[in-house]
Structure 1
Amino acid sequence: MRGTVTAVSSNGEHSFTKPNRPSITLLAGLGVEGDVHAGVTVKHRSRVAQDPTQPNLRQVHLIHEELFTEVGEEGFEVAPGELGENVTTRGLDLLGLPVGTLLRLGDTAVLEVTGLRNPCLQIDAFQDGLLKRVVGRDEEGRTVRRAGIMTIVREGGVVRPGDTITAELPTGPHRPLDRV
């Protein structure tokens, strides 16, 4: 399973969107160098308020660019980095990956998939009504989250637009993604 990095983004300040960069550097066990969400313990404000000692399972956020096309057909304009992701991808079914999948980006970086992004009301502040397009319910009434996946950095490295992403599924029974 392969895909491509179409954009990389980071921000050293708490802000909903993240500016695109020519490259980002992933630091093992921490996240994106210089990004506000990098660290061993959780950095997302809502998680810090609950328990600041929690491990940071949300070091690097990835979104599939295909989502932008889908919501674009419904009248929303979303570009890479605008939903706060660090890595925008194309051609890889991120939401279908199990927990523990390793993602190899570029020459050396390796991310481990920890779960789904749990989108918040800030998405509607960005564009009214967008939250309902990225979170919904399936036929059985279960919540479906489509705003990307969260990962931790296993091996660091530089990541650039155009880099290949290769997914390596974990051995044993696969655990489906849930919110982290």
Structure 2
Amino acid sequence: MTLFELPTQDIANRKARERVVKEEVTKRIHALADKLDWCHLNIPQKTKHYEEWAVDPELGGKIAAIMGQEKVHMFIKDTVMRAYRRSKRLPLEQLLKNMGIQHGSLIRSYEKPHALLYDHSHLYTLTVAKEWRMAMLSAYERAAQASEKVEQNRLFITDHRVDRFVDQSYRNLIEAAGKRLDVEVYWVM
């Protein structure tokens, strides 16, 4: 019997089992990442753990049974750990509240990168450091396309305690780009 000949119920059951396995492996990897203080590891350290997890029979082995060993590393890096990073990020609304930033009514919410436009005049964008270029250009474009003048255009950058972002001269470069585009840059945790 081929896949196309399987009854619909069998396919649904198989997909449900696969979803359970993926969720179980994801939870286990997230717990390991918490123990490793994942957000503060550098790229070579993270790569080492991706490789270890990919060949671990209880982690990558279970995923390989679903999608093949050649896709395991990419699944862990791009799906499991992207979800992990998102789960650790403070939502933009909460960040604004914690910083004591007062705002009026929400006019529009944007995705990729996440941004909020309040009262047609205050635009707040949240991004991770490695995606600062795209986020800054998005903030600039969104402000330029707003129906009214955006008085405050702020870009909040997280995950900046690793790699080139610890170098103050690189941060200065990013802040200078922000000034040219009329985007205020804030480095937040």
Please give the TM-score of this superposition, normalised by the length of structure 2. Answer: 0.26
The structure with the greater share of residues assigned to strand is 1
Report which structure shows greater RCO (CA 8 Å, sep ≥6). 1
Looking at secondary structure, tell me which structure has more helix per residue: 2
TM-score for both structures, normalised by structure 1: 0.27
Kindly name which structure, 1 or 2, has the bigger radius of gyration based on alpha carbons.
Answer: 2
